[in-house]
Chain A
Amino acid sequence: MVFSSGVFLYLFLPVFLAAYYALPRRASSLVIAFASYIFYGWWRPDFVGLMLFSTVVDFFCGRRIVAAQERGERGKTWLLVSMAVNLGLLGYFKYANFGVDSFNAIAANFGVGPLDWPKVVLPVGISFYTFQTMSYTIDVYRREATVVDRFSDFMCYVALFPQLVAGPIVRYSTVAEQLRHRSHTFAKFYQGVLCFQSGFVRKILIADTLGQVADPAFATEALPLVDAWTGLLAYTLQIYFDFSGYSDMAIGLGLMLGFRFPVNFNGPYRSTSITDFWRRWHISLSSWLRDYLYVPLGGNRKGNLRTYVNLMATMLLGGLWHGAAWTFVIWGAYQGIWLAAERAFGKRAFWFALPQPLQILATFVVAMFGWVPFRASSLDGCLTYLGSLFGGSPEGPLLEILPLHVGVLAIGMLVAWLPFTTQRLASRAPLTWVVVLQPLFLVALLQLQYQDHVPFLYYQF
């Protein structure tokens, strides 16, 4: 189920909220878990079993780690079991097709026939909930989180529907206390409504409208100069408003249930460098990668060269986390190179001598180029699109760009560069924003019925 669907908004959410607030508080974890399984299994019920399996394994491993630690051991075996199961599931479901396809492509060069391999269907959200459950066992192993007592709480944590399929990646330590004791206040609920409305408007009115330009642009790839740049700008804003819109809705729904999830986007297009960008974009993923990958690899503690290698390795794996394709590897490498370069040159770089608005603009353009491999359907498509950006395809015009699209692009740029996050606005609830938001939300509801189903971009990851 997706938030931006009639079945979620008009059936699931009202019924769930009514049940959640009507039933006794002690059953809240079970109610959430049950509802989350319906939410998750709506399109593929069989994958609920996979999530339950992962839940049981990590719940059990967490307890065994603590038991081992109480005996004076480290409990590493159970951590490895948890890692093996989680990474095994992720590897099989997310990367098996990619591995076989890559093998076949190489084998074909040596005259070897392709492996006969039935395509594996990717379970929605597996990358997110796997990272969450892994963070649990790692934190327990590191003694940075207490082991969960009740299985229902752990089910609730893993399956928590607001952030189940596209984040933010909520670490167990962040919500451990909230799972047992959280307050349900009207102020929180109201804040949640505003966050949800804001995210919904971002997704439906901005992201989906820009998708009408970005999708055909990347489907065509060979475009005239103006169309190529417009398409890329549209995608740059589409992915931001789509994903941050989802995060806002997730955070809003969490607030309606009494949870406070961490902020996932903090004005990333206002960044003054790529390093800054990664502190503001998909914060829950970048901090996860930092804490569970970059730091254990040695971080910046083992000399400059090793730091660059660690940065590259982290970003390459971050790229692969998004999808099993060489285009994501290139995207990760691109980010890694920029991060390493910024670290190498430090504050001495000419970059930091530029006025801040220019730094922001330059970082924005660098981020835009990164979205080309991220969005392209193939390596060839990526190169074709890059060629189009530099005037490689003189035909045209090929994109249907209406004045509305230009207007939404302008509004999107303005909103992306404004120094406010949705969470900050929702907590302060300035009157103008609240009043403007209501008709926009109603228009977005109308637009939802009007337009074709447009899933969130991050569902595919």
Chain B
Amino acid sequence: MRRTLSVAISLLFVFTTAGIGLIDSIWPIEPPAPVGREKQADDKRRAEARITDGSAARLFEDDLRRRSRVHDAIGPYYSFLLYRYFGLTRSSAVAGEDGWFFLRDRLTTVPEAVSENVPLTANLAEALDRRLRGRGIELVVCPVPRKGTVQAESLRRGLAVDDRPYRALIADLRRRGVLVADLLDAFQKHEGEHVYNKVDSHWSDVGMIVAAERTARDGDMLAPPAARRFTLEKKFTKPQPGDILAMIEIDVPEAWVKTFGRDEEVEVWRVEDEGRDVGETKRLGAEAPLAFSGTSFSDGRLFEDFVGHFAGRPVWTSAKRAAGPVAPLEEAVDHVTRQFEDLPEKLVWEIPMHNVFSVSRPLRGMGRVFSDARAGDLAPLSEEFPWIENSTLIPGPLPSKGTSTTRTLGGAFIFPGNGCVSVRLRGRVQNGYAEVRVDGTGRRLHGRWEAGRDQIVMPVVSVDDVSIVNLGLLSRDKASVQIDSIELVTDLEFDAIEATTPELTMNDETWTAAISLVEPFSPEPRDVLLLDLAGRRVARDLEFLIELSEGPPVVVLSADKVDPNARVILPLDEVAGRPILGVLLRADGRKPPALEVDVSRGAPVFH
């Protein structure tokens, strides 16, 4: 008996291991082809796989697993049983209470979400809005809250999603005057309704309708009921297969699902136009007054149609799944600014917030969006722009190899990194293209100066205030590039205002310079003050505060180093609507021997 058992077990061991290897090698399955960004990442991985560093071996192992016939046959049942009896899923997802599933990476919040990703996103959105308004288009930012923030009560022990970054972003964008749809608030007002699908990472039809109504309302385009486009009515309910189940390989026959009693019926809504189903919006399509840049929350769904319905306007869409929020935006901006005869009134930008709050360095590729977006009229900031003298990037022909660079003098020109200041290169590009890199102390934007265009305008966008601008230009694909001019430009117009001579005082180790405005005023969002300093000593760690008629002074800008003759643009978004009495400059150390300041009031002018 023991002998037989030992032989059987040894054979079982050998045949199991060898058998699986044999079946998977001879008869592999064809795994689903990756799409969008996953495909890009997969292609890159395959192209870069090397034997020497083990990356080819890892790729081989992953392919072996993905192509496993045995796993494909047994895995889904195993996954289902694990979930059913132990509440366990593949690590990419989390099973919540009552049949809810969440993608794990969307539950995490990176530590820099509030301190960096929110201001960066707000600055990028404001810069884009300024650029689009220069062409007469208003941006409507539509941040899609993470499923875990909306359905927080369905998360199991130890899993909580931080909704503070979302609230901070909404508040920040509103303060800057950027139109933004607060979908988290809208969803929370529909508590108890399934605005997200249980087994899918996207919202339900109900959620889409709620989101579309709020987008139209917050985007200042809500049409009165009589002017709405379609008839909306609940069509039927159906089982929802859900993308998460496929992702975590719980993909078993219907009979199993019924046996174990876990299923979800979702409502399907009809969008009806004069008795006919509108169906899903096709990508691109005819010119329309409302442009839409969407992701998988809209592509192949009805979200744009619902937005169009509530806005009472036809919609053109570049929605694309698995591509992230930047690629469809680039396509939308490029297409509408180049191809439309009548530019749209509004552009809705859908940003799933896991792309911002659950990742480091979010919204990559925005430089391409700006290089595609034709700029309106912009004014040069100064004839004597403060580029350093020993630059390799100067007007004239660009060397065909290597990156030519220049930068502004540190601390000579200081401004917020919200796109109010841009770099404009004028000249000619033939063949190929030129890669433009603009770095406003922290976040580099890569633009693409295409052949045939006589200028490129790249905004200076940064998490922090900008005290130095780095600019690089590189010829690509053997492009021949002739540069006529390099300048800093702005959409702001300034008017000098009267102010008192700065009153310098020392208090302990801190000096302050108080400047009073002769005529206090209440700024609008995006209004600024321009200070032209004339001093004798470089100031370190200088803070600029706004004195208000009520309450303590508010810090609106700070800089590590400020040149004695610096120009400084102070943003007034934080004090918008409150009477301003003056400006305070504050720093530690010795009091400057003398300081004069000319003050101008500025506001964007969108031509």
- Contact of A404 with B86 in the complex, beta carbons under 8 Å: yes
Q: A189's closest neighbor in chain B, by CB?
A: B10
B87 within 8 A of A: yes
Residue in A46, A197, A212 whose CB lies within 8 Å of B13: A197
Does more than half of chain B's interface fall in helix, strand or loop, or is it mixed? Answer: helix
- Complex Cα distance, B155 from A399, in Å, reads 12
**B57-95 to A contact mask, C-beta < 8 Å, 1/0:** 110110011001011001100110010001110110010
B26 within 8 A of A: no
A9 within 8 A of B: yes
- Contact of B17 with A400 in the complex, beta carbons under 8 Å: no
Q: A446's closest neighbor in chain B, by CB?
A: B78
Give chain A residues whose Cβ lies under 8 Å from the Cβ of B21: 9-11, 14-15
For chain B, residues 224 to 279, give those with C-beta under 8 angstroms from any C-beta of chain A.
249
CB distance from A428 to the nearest CB of B (A): 11
- Contact of A450 with B10 in the complex, beta carbons under 8 Å: no
- Complex Cα distance, B57 from A1, in Å, reads 9
**A402-416 to B contact mask, C-beta < 8 Å, 1/0:** 111000000000000
Q: Given A14-B21, A446-B75, do A403 and B14 touch, yes or no (CB 8 Å)?
A: no
Give chain B residues whose Cβ lies under 8 Å from the Cβ of A397: 157-158
For chain B, residues 150 to 166, give those with C-beta under 8 angstroms from any C-beta of chain A.
156-159
- Contact of B6 with A7 in the complex, beta carbons under 8 Å: no
- Contact of B51 with A6 in the complex, beta carbons under 8 Å: no
Indicate the size class of the contact surface on chain A: 35 or more
B12 within 8 A of A: yes
- Complex Cα distance, B78 from A451, in Å, reads 12
A227 within 8 A of B: yes
**B339-351 to A contact mask, C-beta < 8 Å, 1/0:** 0000000000000
CB distance from B74 to the nearest CB of A (A): 6
CB distance from B81 to the nearest CB of A (A): 10
- Contact of A43 with B2 in the complex, beta carbons under 8 Å: no
**B182-195 to A contact mask, C-beta < 8 Å, 1/0:** 00000000000000
- Contact of A10 with B87 in the complex, beta carbons under 8 Å: no
- Complex Cα distance, B9 from A14, in Å, reads 15
Interface centre among A429, A445, A450 (most CB of B within 10 A): A450
Q: Given A190-B9, A451-B91, do A10 and B20 touch, yes or no (CB 8 Å)?
A: yes
Give chain A residues whose Cβ lies under 8 Å from the Cβ of B51: 45
Q: Given A7-B61, A404-B87, A431-B5, do A398 and B17 touch, yes or no (CB 8 Å)?
A: no
B538 within 8 A of A: no
- Contact of B9 with A400 in the complex, beta carbons under 8 Å: no
CB distance from B246 to the nearest CB of A (A): 15
- Complex Cα distance, B82 from A382, in Å, reads 34
How many A-B pairs have beta carbons closer than 8 Å: the answer is 114
- Contact of A46 with B10 in the complex, beta carbons under 8 Å: no
- Contact of A452 with B91 in the complex, beta carbons under 8 Å: yes
Q: Given A400-B159, A449-B68, do A429 and B91 touch, yes or no (CB 8 Å)?
A: no
B549 within 8 A of A: no
- Complex Cα distance, B249 from A98, in Å, reads 42
B507 within 8 A of A: no
**A421-461 to B contact mask, C-beta < 8 Å, 1/0:** 00000000101001000100110011101111100000000
A193 within 8 A of B: yes
Residue in B17, B68, B87 whose CB lies within 8 Å of A403: B87
CB distance from B97 to the nearest CB of A (A): 12
A401 within 8 A of B: yes
- Contact of A11 with B25 in the complex, beta carbons under 8 Å: yes
- Contact of B86 with A402 in the complex, beta carbons under 8 Å: yes
Give chain B residues whose Cβ lies under 8 Å from the Cβ of A404: 86-88
- Contact of A10 with B24 in the complex, beta carbons under 8 Å: yes
- Contact of B17 with A43 in the complex, beta carbons under 8 Å: no
- Complex Cα distance, B6 from A15, in Å, reads 22
- Complex Cα distance, B82 from A450, in Å, reads 10
CB distance from A411 to the nearest CB of B (A): 13
B52 within 8 A of A: yes
Residue in A18, A44, A46, A400 whose CB lies within 8 Å of B156: A400
B53 within 8 A of A: yes
- Complex Cα distance, B57 from A5, in Å, reads 12
**B1-31 to A contact mask, C-beta < 8 Å, 1/0:** 0100111011011101110110011000000
Give chain A residues whose Cβ lies under 8 Å from the Cβ of B60: 7
CB distance from B154 to the nearest CB of A (A): 13
- Contact of A400 with B157 in the complex, beta carbons under 8 Å: yes
- Contact of A398 with B64 in the complex, beta carbons under 8 Å: no
CB distance from A77 to the nearest CB of B (A): 36
A19 within 8 A of B: no
- Complex Cα distance, B13 from A441, in Å, reads 9
Give chain A residues whose Cβ lies under 8 Å from the Cβ of B14: 14, 17
- Contact of B10 with A193 in the complex, beta carbons under 8 Å: yes
Q: Given A44-B53, A400-B94, do A193 and B13 touch, yes or no (CB 8 Å)?
A: yes
Residue in B9, B52, B75, B79 whose CB lies within 8 Å of A438: B9
Residue in B6, B24, B64 whose CB lies within 8 Å of A190: B6
Give chain B residues whose Cβ lies under 8 Å from the Cβ of A453: 61
A194 within 8 A of B: yes
Q: What are the 3 A-B residue pairs with the smallest beta carbon separation, nearest first?
A: A10-B21, A43-B54, A14-B18
Supplied contacts A7-B64, A398-B158, A450-B75, 4 more A-B pairs, CB within 8 Å: A190-B9, A404-B87, A447-B78, A451-B91
- Chosen A-B contacts, 5 in total, with CB atoms closer than 8 Å, are A9-B17, A212-B91, A429-B6, A438-B9, A449-B65
Interface residues of B (CB under 8 A from A): 2, 5-7, 9-10, 12-14, 16-18, 20-21, 24-25, 51-54, 57-58, 60-61, 64-65, 68, 70-71, 74-75, 78-79, 82, 86-88, 90-91, 94, 156-159, 249
